[in-house]
Amino acid sequence: MKIVVLDGYTENPGDLSWGELAELGELTVYDRTSYVESPVIAERIGDAEIAVTNKTPISAKTIDLCPNLKAIAVLATGYNVTDFKYAGEKGIPVINVPTYGTQIVGQYAVSLLLEICSHIGHHDRTVKDGKWENNIDWCYWDYPLIELSGKTAGVIGLGRIGKTTARILGAMGMKVLAYDAFTSEEGRKYAKYVDLDTLYANSDVIFLHCPLFADNEKMINRDSIAKMKNGVIIINNSRGGLINEQDLADALNTGKVYAAGLDVVSTEPIRGDNPLLEARNCIITPHISWAAQAARQRIMDITVDNIRAFINGNPVNVVNL
């Protein structure tokens, strides 16, 4: 059984091991392969039976050029980098990692909010640049410092990660509202379900924790922002396509939105012309909510289990068959 990892570096930059995967077959690991459609992708898969990808696309054309391909394993939860429907038509299972990052992604979402409220990184830099040493007062702050207890958070998407975020926010003394197409008794432990317009109108902070579909693409836009409180904070470490980035930049620059904390953008890596790069009070990090070593180890472990189950004839975590 030949196994090819197309873009393994972000999963394992050297602090994990491919050893268990190598025990399952003849393993080839590439650190990086093109993130856009390229003949190189099919060339690297070659006659392998299993292709493992994180963000390198596997298109219908690539699938047709690799007639020996029998399974595609994605080193992530999202699998839209593959033409999973076409793979399904060809009888090729696409296998993902559904639950590796629940705790760390929720933690990171709240971390973005806390940085906006306390500006710890900024004030650390000013102290080391000499501002405190030379200050005429015994303390100073360059931004308003925001106390969260008693404020209202709105969580759009109360799945596993949304519930984790809601639980943390509740422990901080915040009231939590939630919008989700599906309600649950477990969700009611952490948040009050409301309709989307009610969430927009009443939330001091809005978290996006939902997958990206055609019907919610750019759901944060000029019209939805108009329904929000003046000075709302928006946090997104889910999918960049949920936000109309020009509309959010405009709202940040006018102050309608006080601040945004983003770990995702619509095109990644970010393009130099993204309007959010120049927007006021906008924190952007490079899609690293998932990247704690513990979470990446879970990705590795689950991927090995997924491939082992496929080889043994009992595939799990299949998204397209």
Q: What tokens were used for 70? A: 């029998």
Provide the pLDDT confidence category of residue 216 given band limits of 50, 70 and 90. very high
d(CA 235, CA 71): 35
| % of the chain residues with pLDDT over 90 | 98
pLDDT at 321 (0 to 100):
87
Determine how many CB atoms are found less than 10 A away from the CB of residue 222: 14
Mean pLDDT calculated for residue range 19-41:
97
Residue of 214, 85, 105 whose CA lies nearest to 164: 105
Q: Give the active site residue among 43, 89, 186, 268.
A: 268
Mean pLDDT calculated for residue range 269-298:
97
Element of type H or E holding 74: strand 71-74
Catalytic annotation present for 287: yes
Name, in order, each residue with C-beta under 8 angstroms of 139's C-beta and a sequence gap of 6 or more.
132
Which tens digits make up the pLDDT trace of 159-200? 999 999 999 999 999 999 999 999 999 999 999 999 999 999
Domains of the chain (ranges; CATH) run: 2-100+293-311 (3.40.50.720), 102-284 (3.40.50.720)
Which tens digits make up the pLDDT trace of 245-257? 999 999 999 999 9
d(CA 220, CA 217): 8
Q: Give the active site residue among 119, 123, 209, 239.
A: 239
Catalytic annotation present for 186: no
Amino acid (one-letter) located at 107: Q
Which tens digits make up the pLDDT trace of 228-246? 999 999 999 999 999 999 9
β-bridge mates for residue 74, sequence order? 53
Rounded to whole angstroms, what are the CA distances from 209 to 7, 57, 99, 179? 26, 24, 14, 10
- 120-128 helix and 102-118 helix, angle to the nearest 10 degrees: 60
On the question of a cis peptide bond just before residue 269, with omega within 30 degrees of 0, the verdict is yes
Q: Give the active site residue among 119, 123, 209, 287.
A: 287
Catalytic annotation present for 122: no
